[in-house]
A and B are shown apart, each in its own frame.
Chain A
Amino acid sequence: MNDALTISGLTKNYKDFVLDGISFSVPSGSIVGLIGENGAGKSTTINATLGLIQKEAGSVSVLGKEELDNEIKEQVGVVFDGSNYPEILSPRKLNRVLKNIYQSWDERTFLSLLKKLSLPIDKPIKQYSRGMKMKLAISAALSHNSKLLILDEATSGLDPVIRDDILDILLDFVQDENHSILISSHITTDLEKIADYIVFIHEGKVVFSKPKDELTEQYGIIKCGAAQFDALDKSDIIVYRKMDYEWQVLISDRTAMQKKYPKAMIVPATIDEIMLLYVKGEK
């Protein structure tokens, strides 16, 4: 399987933050969720990938090319947190503008998406709700024959109904196996619904990059007391966290662990819990 996006050793230094050798890929036909707390480096990674900021080391290959030229940009749809279109414009005017920017602009697709998503075509964007603005931005990103969609916190601050609508659009987009999505979000429940792979960034480094099913179906949390915790084989522990009344231990294979520790209470781990344990737990 070819990769739509390959990031290798991406590094960017700021005074108070370092993006430290980020590496992961987005296989064609898949959705990759980029997770991490605020300030972890998700947006910096996306900004460097899109050429918004200069990288200091590493390489980024988008749709097989390392140079992000206009030909590649035509095939990459980008949605940021907010519409990022001049709010004085209406979608009709925006259509005229983008028609003159993208050679592959598909007016019919754009107008049909507006209709499908009930977005008024002549209403200025400033009168749109936040959810409508995000739907408009996604409609624009899908209207120039994009093969790769990159979304940076596109669902944050939206109500569950709108988020669900947007997730449906994204799932629909990847029905074509040549289409891929990189989506950063700190709403991990959204990614649990749609992502094929999860990349977790913490303090500028990739903590893990794994298939989502491996995380949700194999990872687990042992909830135990101090004595039971002491009895655990330390090589089975990925990270652990001492709570008020219990210990929480993240393990990578809950079926195997259940056999090894039949009396232990092992529960499936959500991506949120895995992220929390990595960030707040100890090794």
Chain B
Amino acid sequence: MKGILLKDFYIAKSGIIVTLTALFVLAFGLSFLLDASSILMLAPAIATVAVYMSITNDASSKWNKNVITMPVSRDQIIGAKYILYLLLSAIGIIVVLASLGIMSLLGMTITLYSLLFNAAIGISAALFAGGISLPCVYFFDAEKSQIVYMIAFVASTGIITALVLLINLFIPVKDNILLAFYIVLAISFVCFAVSYKIATAVYRKQDIT
């Protein structure tokens, strides 16, 4: 699996550098307009765009076919993409946290509450978007993976809204905002794990030509 991840990093390297640099700069830019930590809501999703670059490249180069003949299992092939997705989400968060740390040192007020709140939303949105789009791009059209991801990201915001409204039926969200979004975050992790299980189960039986 290490080799597959290394290949993905080589393919997506330029995309990763561009998106992470953009995130770093965006965090500074946004700080003049609104709460700088709100960039955490977008950071994981923006950082993971590179995964779809690698999926598109795999399809166009027919690497998907070649790699099946190598000593890696189909589960590992799918697993590598999910791991890359999580890694890039984490790196996106870290980069933004680093820029927020610098701003904090420069005297800007950044509260722990806003960090936790925005990060929870950002990670949830990315996990829902990944959970929906990763199986879809593998089973339908990998060459349009980036479009599928954008649609999935829009859908993920709808899912979060729906979940918050649902939670509000049991817990008053206004009084327990962090708790509500942590529940959403937990559900998003479960969805991502279920998505991986579904993707591997289907991919095991899929004809690759």
Inter-chain contacts of B7 with A (CB < 8 A): 86, 89, 97
> Given A84-B62, A93-B10, A52–B3 Cβ distance below 8 Å?
no
A88 touches B65 (CB 8 A): no
B61 touches A84 (CB 8 A): yes
Task: Kindly list the 7 A-B residue pairs having the minimum CB-CB distance in the complex, ordered from nearest.
Answer: A100-B3, A101-B3, A70-B71, A84-B66, A53-B207, A78-B69, A73-B71
> Given A97-B3, A101-B4, A101-B70, A88–B209 Cβ distance below 8 Å?
no
Inter-chain contacts of A43 with B (CB < 8 A): 209
Q: Is B63 an interface residue (CB 8 A)?
A: yes
Residue in B63, B205, B209 whose beta carbon sits within 8 Å of that of A84 in the complex: B63
Count A-side interface residues using an 8 Å CB cutoff.
31
A52 touches B11 (CB 8 A): no
A86 touches B69 (CB 8 A): no
Per-position binary interface string of chain A over residues 51-94, scored 1 when its CB falls under 8 Å from any chain B CB and 0 otherwise: 11110000000000000001101101010101111111100010
B66 touches A102 (CB 8 A): no
Q: Please, how many angstroms separate the alpha-carbon atoms of A100 and B10 in the complex?
A: 14
Q: Is A99 an interface residue (CB 8 A)?
A: yes
Q: Is B106 an interface residue (CB 8 A)?
A: no
Residue in B6, B58, B71, B208 whose beta carbon sits within 8 Å of that of A102 in the complex: B71
Q: Is A228 an interface residue (CB 8 A)?
A: no
Residue in A54, A84, A100 whose beta carbon sits within 8 Å of that of B2 in the complex: A100
Q: Is B68 an interface residue (CB 8 A)?
A: yes
Interface bin, chain B = 20 to 34
Q: How far is the CB of A121 from chain B (nearest CB, A)?
A: 15
Chain B residue nearest to A150 (CB atoms) is B69
Inter-chain contacts of B70 with A (CB < 8 A): 73, 98, 101-102
Q: Which residues of B come within 8 Å of A, CB atoms? A: 2-4, 6-7, 10-11, 57-58, 61-63, 65-66, 68-73, 205, 207-209
Q: Please, how many angstroms separate the alpha-carbon atoms of A86 and B12 in the complex?
A: 11
Q: Please, how many angstroms separate the alpha-carbon atoms of A267 and B66 in the complex?
A: 43
A70 touches B72 (CB 8 A): yes
- List A6-52 residues whose CB lies under 8 Å from chain B: 43, 47, 50-52
- List A86-121 residues whose CB lies under 8 Å from chain B: 86-89, 93, 96-103
> Given A54-B205, A86-B63, A101-B3, A73–B69 Cβ distance below 8 Å?
yes
> Given A84-B61, A97-B10, A103-B71, A52–B208 Cβ distance below 8 Å?
yes
Residue in A53, A70, A87, A100 whose beta carbon sits within 8 Å of that of B61 in the complex: A87
Q: Please, how many angstroms separate the alpha-carbon atoms of A115 and B10 in the complex?
A: 23
Residue in B3, B10, B68, B69 whose beta carbon sits within 8 Å of that of A98 in the complex: B3
A-B contact pairs, 28 of them (CB 8 A): A47-B207, A47-B208, A47-B209, A50-B69, A51-B68, A52-B68, A52-B208, A54-B207, A70-B71, A71-B71, A78-B69, A80-B66, A82-B62, A84-B65, A84-B66, A85-B63, A86-B11, A86-B63, A97-B3, A97-B4, A97-B6, A98-B3, A99-B3, A100-B6, A101-B3, A101-B70, A101-B72, A103-B71
Residue in B3, B62, B72, B207 whose beta carbon sits within 8 Å of that of A80 in the complex: B62
